């Protein structure tokens, strides 16, 4: 789970802002929304975070900052390339100042703080600590090219320490050590510091960050290869009243010769995610079937007009509404969260969705994933959520821009005078919490046509 995320000098965030998912001790309602790893001594972490803000306030930039940080960890750039970052552009002092990220995360019953700061030329700092109540145990810390190690390395033999030192010194200045730890298979030689690998895998498998136009290109393949998954997706779509009775895939006809030229080699459908398959579009994929023949499948939906109508009509995804296609992408995330794994950060969750569907999505996530270590953080413009009694006060955040055009992040919980029974939607819309657009005078439109106020 994500405990905290902070960012500084990135996109519209000039000064450091922190999104904290730690539950407030003053909020007593909905205790099932809180996970305490390791029992009552564990940190109380919220399962849901909802972020509001005007257009261009910086909501999406917070999500993009997470993506930027994750990509720097998982996808290293070439040794001689400048580090891709996005410093705050409206302050000249920020142009050459480092961009800083830090994640505090929970893995099993333990907590880790991993962060780094980067300039365009190099990694300036990088650190990994195990943290918790009364714990701050350094695993490694890096300043430029100088590494310092924690006490846990004291039990290693000299050969392993030497190998670790050589690997650290050989880390390119534009690479994170966390990345090179995987690239150089350090874990195989020094398994005693497996915590580094656990943190890396959290970014690989435990964090999904999605912008509004995100498309899960593996969806058609999963429908093809996993019957239980296909049934679960179909059941969710029926519950949301989409008119879809079931999802499925259908083969497309292609020239075997053309496919063989485009995708040489042998393999099977089960090898799709290795080397033999490709995703040809948002709702298609090509792979070899069990006989080794290359085929292309497309995702389709099956509808039935009246209860007794047979056969069911088949629809291409292009024939479905934007809202239905949006749900197609969100349902797999819901399934994963019901199974208890992962952190999902979704920008503009309400995009193309009716308010009732949005409410149902969030309410059912909270209800049926209770007790599981899954987490959902979303941005939205749907203010009707503020009138829903399934939200805790400490689950709501506001993003706003100041006169300096820098984004700030403020928790609703910081407004201590606000009571949950008050009309939060009304108060937000009148600007009590900030994060709403300032609509300026449009009288100049009349002036163009000789009109006066």
User: What is the pLDDT, as a whole number, of residue 256?
Assistant: 41
User: Which residues, other chains included, contact 252 with Cβ-Cβ below 8 Å and sequence gap of 6+?
Assistant: 284, 295, 296, 297, 298
Residue 138, SS3? Answer: strand
Where residue 259 falls among pLDDT bands split at 50, 70, 90?
A: very low
Q: Write the pLDDT tens digit of every residue in 26-55.
A: 888 899 999 987 667 789 999 999 999 888
Q: Write the pLDDT tens digit of every residue in 84-105.
A: 899 999 999 999 999 999 999 9
The answer to whether the beta carbons of residues 349 and 358 sit under 8 Å apart is yes
More confidently predicted of 365 and 275 = 365
Q: What share of the chain is helix, strand, coil (3-state, %, to 5)?
A: 35, 25, 40
79 vs 325: CA distance, rounded Å: 40
230 vs 443: CA distance, rounded Å: 55
How many Cβ atoms sit within 10 Å of the Cβ of residue 61?
A: 21
User: What is the pLDDT, as a whole number, of residue 279?
Assistant: 44
446 vs 449: CA distance, rounded Å: 5
pLDDT over 80 at 421, yes or no:
no
pLDDT over 70 at 268, yes or no:
no
Q: Compute the average pLDDT of residues 227-237.
A: 94
User: What is the pLDDT, as a whole number, of residue 303?
Assistant: 92
235 vs 232: CA distance, rounded Å: 5
pLDDT over 80 at 449, yes or no:
no
Nearest CA-CA partner of 217 in 308, 295, 134, 279:
279
pLDDT over 80 at 365, yes or no:
yes
Residue 52 Cα distances to 62, 68, 145, angstroms:
12, 21, 40
Where residue 201 falls among pLDDT bands split at 50, 70, 90?
A: very high
pLDDT over 80 at 241, yes or no:
yes
130 vs 106: CA distance, rounded Å: 10
Apex CA 406: angle with CA 384 and CA 394, to 5°?
A: 40
The answer to whether the beta carbons of residues 234 and 247 sit under 8 Å apart is yes
104 vs 6: CA distance, rounded Å: 9
pTM for this model (two decimals): 0.86
Q: Compute the average pLDDT of residues 200-207.
A: 94
Q: Work out the percent of the chain whose per-residue pLDDT is above 90.
A: 52
pLDDT over 70 at 3, yes or no:
yes
And the tokens for 403? 């006169």
pLDDT over 90 at 359, yes or no:
yes
pLDDT over 50 at 11, yes or no:
yes
Residue 356 Cα distances to 238, 350, 382, angstroms:
15, 10, 11
Q: Is the dihedral of CA 371, 376, 377, 380 positive or negative?
A: negative
How many Cβ atoms sit within 10 Å of the Cβ of residue 412?
A: 23
pLDDT over 90 at 291, yes or no:
no
Where residue 275 falls among pLDDT bands split at 50, 70, 90?
A: very low
Q: Write the pLDDT tens digit of every residue in 142-184.
A: 998 899 988 877 677 888 888 888 888 888 899 999 988 877 7
User: What is the pLDDT, as a whole number, of residue 452?
Assistant: 57
User: What is the pLDDT, as a whole number, of residue 16?
Assistant: 97
Q: Write the pLDDT tens digit of every residue in 338-357.
A: 987 799 999 999 999 999 99
pLDDT over 60 at 327, yes or no:
yes
User: What is the pLDDT, as a whole number, of residue 379?
Assistant: 96
User: What is the pLDDT, as a whole number, of residue 91?
Assistant: 95
3-state secondary structure 387-418: HCCCCCHHHEEEEEECCCCCEEEEEHHHCCCC
User: What is the pLDDT, as a whole number, of residue 269?
Assistant: 37
- The number of residues in the chain equals 453
User: What is the pLDDT, as a whole number, of residue 95?
Assistant: 94
Nearest CA-CA partner of 159 in 150, 169, 151, 167:
167
């Amino acid at each position: 789970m994500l405990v905290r995320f902070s960012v500084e000098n990135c996109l519209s965030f000039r000064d450091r802002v922190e999104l904290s998912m730690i539950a407030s001790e003053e909020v007593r309602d909905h205790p099932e929304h809180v996970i305490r790893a390791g029992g009552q001594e564990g940190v109380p972490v919220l399962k849901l975070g909802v972020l509001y803000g005007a257009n261009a306030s910086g909501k999406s930039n917070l999500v993009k900052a997470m993506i930027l940080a994750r990509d720097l960890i998982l996808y290293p750039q070439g040794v001689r390339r400048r580090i891709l970052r996005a410093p705050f552009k409206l302050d000249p002092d920020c142009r050459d100042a480092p961009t800083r990220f830090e994640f505090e995360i929970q893995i099993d019953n333990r907590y880790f703080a991993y962060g780094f700061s980067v300039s365009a030329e190099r990694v300036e700092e990088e650190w990994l600590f195990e943290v918790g109540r009364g714990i701050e145990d350094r695993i490694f810390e890096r300043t430029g090219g100088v590494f310092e190690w924690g006490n846990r390395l004291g039990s290693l033999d000299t050969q392993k320490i030497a190998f670790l030192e050589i690997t650290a010194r050989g880390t390119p200045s534009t690479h994170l050590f966390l990345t090179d730890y995987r690239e150089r298979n350090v874990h195989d030689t020094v398994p005693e510091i497996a915590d580094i690998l656990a943190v890396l895998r959290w970014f690989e498998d435990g964090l999904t960050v999605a912008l509004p136009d995100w498309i899960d290109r593996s969806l058609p393949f999963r429908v093809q290869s996993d019957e239980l998954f296909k049934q679960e997706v179909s059941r969710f779509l029926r519950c949301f009243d989409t008119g879809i009775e079931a999802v499925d895939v259908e083969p497309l006809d292609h020239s075997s010769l053309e496919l063989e030229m485009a995708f040489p080699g042998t393999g099977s459908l089960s090898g799709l995610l290795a080397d033999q398959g490709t995703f040809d579009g948002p709702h298609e994929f090509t792979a070899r079937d069990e006989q080794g023949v290359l085929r292309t499948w497309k995702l389709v939906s099956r509808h039935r007009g009246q209860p007794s109508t047979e056969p069911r009509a088949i629809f291409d995804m292009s024939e479905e509404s934007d809202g239905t296609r949006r749900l197609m992408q969100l349902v797999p995330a819901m399934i994963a969260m019901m199974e208890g794994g992962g952190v999902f950060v979704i920008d503009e969750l309400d995009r193309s969705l009716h308010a009732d569907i949005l409410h149902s999505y969030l309410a059912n996530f909270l209800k049926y994933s209770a007790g599981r270590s899954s987490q959902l953080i979303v941005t939205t413009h749907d203010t009707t959520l503020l009138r829903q009694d399934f939200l805790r006060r400490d689950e709501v955040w506001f993003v706003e821009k100041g006169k300096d055009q820098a984004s700030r992040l403020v928790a609703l919980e910081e407004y201590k005078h606000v009571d949950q029974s008050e009309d939060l939607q009304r108060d937000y819309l009148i600007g009590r919490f900030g994060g709403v657009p300032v609509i300026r005078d449009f009288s100049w439109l009349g002036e163009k046509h000789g009109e006066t106020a």
